[in-house]
Amino acid sequence: MTLIAGILAGAAATWWMRGIARRFGWMAAPNPIVPQHRVPTAHLGGLGIALGSAAALAAVRAPIPVRALAPLAPAVGYLSLGLADDLRPLRAGPKLVSQVVLAVLAVALGLTARVTGNAILDRAIALLWIVWVVNAVNVTDVCDGLAGGLAAVGLFYVGAIAPSERPVAWAVAGACAGFVVFNRPPASIFMGDAGSLFLGFLLAALPLRILDQVAPWPGVGMVLAAPATFVFEAVFLIAVRTRRGLRFWSGSPDHFSLRMQAAGMSKWRTDLLAWSGAAAVCATAACLPGWPTAGRAAFALIVPGAAWIFAGWLLRHEVTPSPGSDRAQDGVAIAAPAGKSGRPSA
């Protein structure tokens, strides 16, 4: 019921936010890095996802453990930070500091990565993980429907394997699916930074609870599976831009989704393949606790190996940048210039 309520509430809230954005002129200007983004588009989708999630939880009155409520405070903080950046772009320094402060708050509220057994080190890992995934989601959101669908897959997976996180995870997963109804190609609304930071935090925070129930291995693999495609995108961008002599936060059309389209795929096919790949990784990771050591080792080798092969294929397909794309920025906590796209990650 929570998932269905999330879909309905997410669609309704996104439709409402789209109308408000259009009425008040809160539109994303065309982004030179994303050739398909040619007309102003509403960008309050992230707020629609958050409101839809809250409405779904209220409607089904799902019992939520007190412990599961802890991440909600920093989640609202990331949502607010992203919304402020959508409406009036923030400078890179304050934006990064704000992200770190919110990650510190999450750790102070008890969020940790039980990997090493050392409390201080585990908290530091959790903090870095949160900031990394938040920005990984941010840089992936350059193709209609892509990030929303990937977030829905990852959060559904978290709810399926972590019952304590299920109400929140499935409410947000459903709201993401409802958002995609309007964000599907061609999108009539974007999630903006509000959505990417909000979802990035939840995709980082909620899977960490898995480590409370499962040994570090396979627990780490299960945690990584939830935002796996987003993590791939961030690593791929850093590697390609460094190889080309660019700063890793400099805007460039090297995103995997844009390269897939340069290879001749439509936006719909790009989305479907990315969603399917993410679902396959999550479904396999969910089985890891019951697998023998050899099976877990195979997972640890095959998934990175497949990512390596995919990256090699992507490198064969360059995207021709639009005029002005050399002045754009993205990446870790980098805000684009005034008049940026509602997809701040390009």
Element spanning 27, H or E: strand 27-28
Total structural domains within the chain:
1
pLDDT in tens, 193-219: 999 999 999 999 999 999 998 999 999
Q: How confident is the model at residue 330 (pLDDT cuts 50, 70, 90)?
A: low
Q: Is the pLDDT of residue 249 over 90?
A: no
Backbone φ and ψ of 27, nearest 5°: -120, 145
Residue 339 lies in a domain: no
Question: What's the pLDDT at 334?
Answer: 29
Q: How confident is the model at residue 147 (pLDDT cuts 50, 70, 90)?
A: very high
pLDDT in tens, 93-144: 899 999 999 999 999 999 999 999 999 999 999 999 999 999 999 999 999 9
Residue 174 lies in a domain: yes
Question: What's the pLDDT at 257?
Answer: 97
pLDDT in tens, 149-168: 999 999 999 999 999 899 99
Residue 53 structural domain: 2-327
Residue 244 lies in a domain: yes
Residue 302 lies in a domain: yes
Q: Is the pLDDT of residue 327 over 90?
A: no
Q: What is the mean pLDDT of residues 223-250?
A: 93
Nearest-angstrom CA–CA distance, 235 and 220: 18
Q: What is the DSSP string of 52-120?
A: HHHHHHHHHT----HHHHTTHHHHHHHHHHHHHHHHSPPPHHHHHHHHHHHHHHHHHTT---TTSS-HH
Question: What's the pLDDT at 36?
Answer: 61
Nearest-angstrom CA–CA distance, 86 and 27: 9
Query: Rounded mean pLDDT of the chain?
Result: 90
> Please, which residues bridge with residue 41 across strands?
28
183 CB-near residues (< 8 Å, 6+ apart): 14, 45, 144, 145, 148, 189, 190, 191
Residue 301 lies in a domain: yes
Q: What is the mean pLDDT of residues 213-242?
A: 96
Tell me how crowded residue 144 is: count the other CB atoms within 10 A of its CB. Answer: 28
Residue 343 lies in a domain: no
Residue 249 lies in a domain: yes
What is the three-class DSSP state of 219? helix
Q: Is the pLDDT of residue 337 over 50?
A: no
- The CA–CA distances, whole Å, from 11 to 45, 178, 232 equal 10, 4, 28
Q: What is the pTM of this model?
A: 0.92
Q: Is the pLDDT of residue 68 over 80?
A: no
The better pLDDT of the pair 171, 31 is held by 171
Residue 258 lies in a domain: yes
- The CA–CA distances, whole Å, from 49 to 34, 110, 198, 204, 248 equal 23, 25, 9, 17, 29
Q: What is the mean pLDDT of residues 282-310?
A: 97
